[in-house]
C-alpha cells in the first residue's frame, strides 16, 4: 500500500539553487491550475523562476523529494512594494493548510528582506483572501497598489487582461489586497472573538461581492460595447462597488 504523506512530513523552506530541477514542474503545475480554474495567472518563464531561486526570493514545499507547493516574492516601484505571487499547491496536498504555511513563509521573507515595503497581491480565490486577511492584509482598489508599469505588464499573459484594459486598470476579476507596515507601528492589537467573527462575516460578504463582480466583468469581457447607452449601463453595474473601512470590514457602496 502506498504511504500517505501527512502535512507534518511536508517541509516549507526558502528555495535556492539546489531546487532548480523543480522549475519545469512548478511552471506546469501553475499552468494546469489556471486551466482548471478558468482564471488568469500571469505566466513566467523558466529563467524568471530560476532567478527567484538564485536570489533566495522563493518558497518551496516538498514531501520528501516530491514537489508540493511554491510561491515567490518580487519588488516593485523601487522596492516600495513587494508582491507575493505564484502561490500554488499540488492537488493531492490541498486541504491540509499547506497554502497557509507557504503564504506565511513568503510573508515572513518579505518582511525580513523589505521591512518598510508594502506587501500586496492579486487573487481570485476566497481561500487566499482569508489567509491574507489573517496576515493583516486588507482589500484595496488597484489605485492603492504599485503603479510600476513592469508589474502590470505581467498581466498581459492573463486570459482576463482585456477586462483590465476596458476598465482603465480600475477593475478586473482579481482582487487587490495590501499590507502596510505603517499600520502596525505603535499598535498592539488584541483580537477578540467578536472581532474575529466580524472579519469572517466580512469575508463572506466579500465572497458574494466577488461573484457579482465576476458576473458583471465576465459579461463585459464577452460583449462588445457598440452603443453609447450600453456603455453607460455597464458602467452603472461596475459602480456597485465595495470598499473597506479603517478596520478592514467590507461595506457595499451603491451608486447610480
**Residue 71 to residue 100: CA distance in whole angstroms:** 11
Nearest Cα to Cα of residue 165 among 101, 127, 217, 106: 217
221 vs 34, more confident: 34
Enclosing domain of residue 167: 7-253
| This prediction's pTM | 0.69
**Residue 122 to residue 136: CA distance in whole angstroms:** 15
**Residue 215 to residue 164: CA distance in whole angstroms:** 15
Residues contacting residue 75 through CB under 8 Å, at least 6 positions apart: 81, 82, 83, 114, 117
Residue 63: pLDDT band with limits 50, 70, 90:
very high
Contact between 202 and 248 (Cβ < 8 Å) = yes
Nearest Cα to Cα of residue 60 among 22, 32, 92: 22
- pLDDT on residue 170: 83
Read off the CATH number of the domain in which 116 is found.
3.40.630.30
| Domain contains 2 | no
| Domain contains 169 | yes
- pLDDT on residue 240: 39
256 vs 234, more confident: 234
Each residue of 93-125: pLDDT tens digit? 998 899 999 999 999 999 999 999 999 998 877
| Domain contains 1 | no
| Domain contains 50 | yes
For the chain, what is the domain count? 1
Cα of first residue to Cα of last residue in the chain, in angstroms, is 62
Contact between 138 and 178 (Cβ < 8 Å) = yes
Each residue of 164-187: pLDDT tens digit? 888 888 888 888 899 999 988 766
Residue 188: pLDDT band with limits 50, 70, 90:
low
For the four alpha carbons of 125, 179, 161 and 152, in that order, the dihedral sign comes to: negative
Note the maximum CA span of the chain.
65
Amino acid at each position: 500500500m502506498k504511504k500517505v504523506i501527512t502535512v507534518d512530513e511536508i517541509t516549507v523552506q526558502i528555495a535556492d539553487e539546489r531546487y532548480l530541477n523543480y522549475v519545469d514542474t512548478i511552471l506546469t503545475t501553475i499552468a494546469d491550475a489556471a486551466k482548471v480554474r478558468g482564471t488568469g495567472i500571469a505566466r513566467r518563464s523558466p529563467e524568471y523562476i530560476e532567478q527567484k531561486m538564485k536570489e533566495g526570493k522563493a518558497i518551496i514545499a516538498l514531501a520528501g523529494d516530491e514537489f508540493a507547493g511554491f510561491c515567490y516574492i518580487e519588488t516593485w516601484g523601487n522596492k516600495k512594494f513587494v508582491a507575493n505571487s505564484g502561490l500554488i499547491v499540488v492537488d493531492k496536498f490541498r486541504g491540509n493548510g499547506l497554502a497557509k504555511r507557504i503564504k506565511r513563509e513568503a510573508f515572513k521573507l518579505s518582511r525580513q528582506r523589505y521591512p518598510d515595503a508594502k506587501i500586496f497581491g492579486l487573487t481570485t480565490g476566497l481561500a487566499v483572501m482569508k489567509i491574507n486577511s489573517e496576515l493583516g492584509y486588507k482589500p484595496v482598489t488597484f489605485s492603492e497598489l504599485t503603479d510600476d508599469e513592469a508589474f502590470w505588464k505581467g498581466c498581459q499573459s492573463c486570459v482576463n487582461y482585456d477586462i483590465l484594459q476596458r476598465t482603465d486598470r480600475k477593475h478586473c476579476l482579481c482582487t487587490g489586497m495590501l499590507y502596510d507596515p505603517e499600520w502596525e507601528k505603535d499598535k498592539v492589537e488584541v483580537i477578540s472573538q467578536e472581532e474575529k467573527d466580524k472579519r469572517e462575516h466580512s469575508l463572506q460578504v466579500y465572497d458574494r461581492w466577488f461573484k457579482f463582480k465576476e458576473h458583471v466583468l465576465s459579461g463585459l469581457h464577452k460583449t462588445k460595447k457598440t452603443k453609447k447607452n450600453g456603455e453607460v449601463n455597464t458602467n452603472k453595474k461596475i459602480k456597485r462597488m465595495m470598499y473597506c473601512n479603517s478596520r478592514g470590514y467590507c461595506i457595499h457602496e451603491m451608486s447610480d
